[in-house]
Structure formats: C-alpha cells, structure tokens
Amino acid sequence: MHFYRSVLIALILISAETGQAQCTNAVTLQYQSEIQFTSPQQAFASHHDNTGKAYLYVASNDQGLRIYDLSNVTLPVLVKTIPIDSFANMYVMNLTQSGNYLYLTLGNSFVTSSKPGMAIVDVTTPATAKVSTVWNWSKPSGGGGIVAVEGNYAYLGAMGQGLIILDIANKSNAVFVSQYIPSISFPNPVKPDSSKYNARGMVVKNSIVYLCYDAGGFRIINATNKSSPVETGRYSNSLLLNKTRAYNNVVINDTLAYIAVDYCGMEILNIADTAAIKEIGWWNPWNCQASTNDWFNSPGFANEIAYDDNCKLVFLASGNSNLDVVNVSNPAHPDSCTSYQGAGSGQGTWGVSLYQNELFLSYIYVPLCIPFCSNWGGVKMLNWKSPCYTTEVREQNNTNPMEIYPNPSNGTFTINIPLSIGEIAASVFTPLGKCVYSREFAAGQAKSFSMSMNDVTPGLYTLIIKSSAKTYYRKLLITK
C-alpha cells in the first residue's frame, strides 16, 4: 500500500459487480489470545511455524524479528528477539518460511531512501534461532516488500527496484542472480508516478512469478531462466484507470489468482492464458469504482490475503474493517461470509496468515487516521470453524502433542510426544495409501523415537499416530 507511505513515515522514523450473496458455508471466528505491542511498535506480518513446531514468527519493523512459543496458544511467550542490528540495521517488514529457515524482507518500505534486503534465519530450534546471512541491495527503493522461496532461489519484491532473484543454495551466502523491473507505462502511460510502482506482493510456482506491482497492476513473470526473467502477462482493472489503485497481495489456486486490491476489495482472475488474463469475479463491497468513493473514505483496505482450499475461503486483512472472510466456491460470485470486529473498532490490520484452522492478524498503529484509524498494534490469534471443515480435516490439522524434526529431512525423523497418550501405533503412508513404515509402542514408551526411511522415494508423506482416544496426522517431506 504505497498510499500509507507519507502517513507512516513520521511514525516509523520515531521508533463491475460485487456478485455478493449470503455465504453458502457459515464461518465462525473465535478469539483465542493476543500479543499487544507498545506504541509505536508495529506488527507487519506474523506466521505460525509451518513445520509443525508451536511457534509464531513476527516481523516487527524497527524491533526486528520476534519469536513466540505457542505451546499454550492462550498464553504466548516471547522466547527470542533478533534486533535490527543483526540485520545491518534494516527494518524487518515481512517474512516467509521454507523448511527450517525463515526468509525476512528487510528495509523500511515507507521510506524511499531505504535499501531493500533479505536475511536468512535458521529456526531449526526457534528459541535459539540464528541469523545465517544478510543480503542487501545497494540502491534505495523504499525497502523490501515481500520475499518468496522456491528450491534454491529466493525472489525478493524490492519495491521500486522490482524483482530481485537470489541463489540461496548456500544459506550462509545469498548470491545475486538477476533483477527485473516491470515497466511503469502500464496501465496508464501518461506521466506515471514511479514512487507508486512497487513490487510488494508475490507468489512463485514452478519458476513463474505472480507479482502484485502496486499501481502497476498484476504481472506474470517467467523466471525459468533465472538470469533473464521475462514478463508474459499483465492486468489492471479498466474501471480503475483514472482512480487510485494498489494491487497489494495475491494467492494462487490452479488457474485462478485471488488478489487483494486495497480499497477495491478482491479481484479473481483467470490466468490460464497469461497473455490474456481475464477477470471472472470481483468482491467489491466498498464500491471503489464509484465517483463518490476514494481511498480516503473507504470503510476497508484489503492488504494481505490467505486462502483455504478445503473450504474455498479467502481471508483478507482489510484495514479498519479488520478481517473479512469470503467464500469463493463460485469464483464468479464471491460471497461475504463473516468479518471480525469490523469498521468502528478503532483497530486496523495490515497482515493475515493462516495455519490450519488458526488465523493470525497483524495490527499496526495509525494515529493520524489516514487512511484509517488504528490505536492498537500487535497480533491477534483466532480459531475459525465451518461445516466444510470436516472432522477428518480437523483431525489432520489440529495442533497435536508431537514435535517432528528435522522436517523436511533426508528420511530420518525424530518424533517427540510430550504428552502421555497411552499405547500408540505409528504409520507412514504415500499419497496413494501405501504404507512405508509402521511401529507400535506400549503406553509410556513413545516419549521420543526415531524413524528411518532412507530407502523411500523423495516426496510428501503422511504420518499417522493412532492412540485409543485419538488419531493424529502430520505431513512429512523427504528430500534427497
């Protein structure tokens, strides 16, 4: 959201159609706990560890990286802070995780003189996380917007410096590969304002970069040749041509892109043909195309976005509207399901992340109330439920009393079960249901054990732990 820039600089330097209908699957949200920051400290992004460890990682701007133990989700415990002096004094703005490494987006994205950068942090043991490397670009551009990781490459959304690709095969030495700055002559070639064209939302799949280029719309970039990325598609809503616009973040599901578009809600695009991207749905509750609506009076501002494929639900961090949940089972007619708090709470979100059936909302302080007011900063943790989230899915996804490490691994895993759950049986299955490992334990014997599957094919497997009372499921990733 480049429009926040002028408002937040002072604060940060100091420290078509809506197609809406009633939701077909009722969604309920339940508050669990919160982590409040002291003003003017900010929480721009928060993500639960995606390898199954009960930890939360928070990108805390000038406060660096904060790591919380969520063993008891109702009582988060701060166990580690890595300050910005460990990141070349660059602010931590965003983060993502791949295996046992965090990738941090560095550089104040509200100050044009700030350089973009990236850090890699080893979180094999989150409470003693260590910085592996810090990389920064020599040219200022408004800091960093986002980072995505696929294989041995990191893709940095470097705001005004566009897309930067880094080789991260050696986690202690990120190496520059290439840079691509999309043209700012699209969608409006008449005197484009270069400060409003920023690479800040991104997904990478099979070396294809799906990039939200802020005022420059949505771009698709083929990075199969890492040294020479090529743009193959671009899109911007024609109804917004003469209005303020900001394409902020995106999630991809097969041939559909769900894009958070600032005060214009969410656009749903068919990207099967990258040269002919088409809008098929638009969740536009704030009627941003109307002449009476502009960025300053909108009741909501869509920024970060998360997606659950089991229930076909999109979760949007929507500024002073806090959180909106949208059913996209029919992409042509997205349905409003529910919201959390909503406009009038005096609090506003910047980020949202999803881990199984838990939601993590990141809040920022906006004391000048432009474009919205927010008098609270930190993270709120919610639990969400829906009829489509079946008992089987819940059993697979609910937090369970297991720690697995390393995960991914080369085939050897250590499983810790801190709770006594009686007699258990452990089995590992391929996606086609073939059992490749099985073992039984008497009550009290399985506090900790190792599994060795060095002879199996690399890929994704399902670990099933069965006790007399419950069945627990966890994903295992084997790499060679």
292: CB partners within 8 A, 6+ apart: none
| 382 vs 192, more confident | 382
pLDDT of residue 209 exceeding 90, the answer is: yes
Q: Residue 461's domain is classified under what CATH number? A: 2.60.40.3080
Residues 387 and 430 in one domain: no
pLDDT of residue 36 exceeding 60, the answer is: yes
Give residue 41's pLDDT band: very low, low, confident or very high (50, 70, 90).
very high
pLDDT of residue 208 exceeding 60, the answer is: yes
Closest by CA to 78, choosing from 60, 46, 55, 99, is 55
pLDDT of residue 469 exceeding 70, the answer is: no
Note the pLDDT of residue 162: 97
pLDDT in tens, 123-177: 999 999 999 999 999 999 899 999 999 999 999 999 999 999 999 999 999 999 9
pLDDT in tens, 361-384: 999 999 888 778 899 999 999 999
Q: What element of type H or E holds 466?
A: strand 459-467
Distance (Å, whole) CA 346 – CA 376: 8
Up-side HSE of residue 231: CA atoms within 13 Å toward CB? Answer: 20
Expressed as residue numbers, the domain containing 446 is 400-478
Is residue 8 within 8 Å of 366, Cβ to Cβ? yes
Note the pLDDT of residue 344: 80
Distance (Å, whole) CA 70 – CA 78: 9
Distance (Å, whole) CA 7 – CA 5: 5
pLDDT in tens, 115-133: 999 999 999 999 999 999 9
Residues 355 and 470 in one domain: no
Distance (Å, whole) CA 25 – CA 384: 12
pLDDT of residue 224 exceeding 90, the answer is: yes
Strand 153-157 to 146-150 pairing: antiparallel
Note the pLDDT of residue 420: 56
Note the pLDDT of residue 444: 60
Sign of the CA dihedral with 201 first, then 204, 209, and 210 last: negative
Residues 144 and 182 in one domain: yes
Residues 405 and 375 in one domain: no
Residues 205 and 266 in one domain: yes
Q: What amino acid occupies position 411?
A: G
Residues 435 and 366 in one domain: no
At 194, give phi and psi (nearest 5°): -60, -25
Q: What element of type H or E holds 378?
A: strand 378-385
Residues 319 and 372 in one domain: yes
pLDDT of residue 436 exceeding 50, the answer is: yes
pLDDT of residue 258 exceeding 60, the answer is: yes
pLDDT of residue 398 exceeding 60, the answer is: no
Residues 287 and 405 in one domain: no
Q: What is the mean pLDDT of the chain?
A: 87
Residues 422 and 285 in one domain: no
pLDDT of residue 90 exceeding 80, the answer is: yes
Distance (Å, whole) CA 418 – CA 400: 10
Q: DSSP for 412-433?
A: EEEEE--S---SEEEEEE-TT-
| 297 vs 279, more confident | 279
C-alpha distances in Å from residue 412, one per residue of 224, 409, 426: 32, 6, 14
Residue 471 burial (CB count, 10 A): 14
Residues 123 and 244 in one domain: yes
In this prediction, residues 30-42 reach a mean pLDDT of 96
Note the pLDDT of residue 24: 60
Tokens 């909503």, residue? 342
In this prediction, residues 36-53 reach a mean pLDDT of 94
Give residue 227's pLDDT band: very low, low, confident or very high (50, 70, 90).
very high
Per the structure, the count of domains in the chain is 2
Note the pLDDT of residue 417: 72
Note the pLDDT of residue 8: 42
| 25 vs 1, more confident | 25
Is residue 121 within 8 Å of 57, Cβ to Cβ? no
Note the pLDDT of residue 371: 78
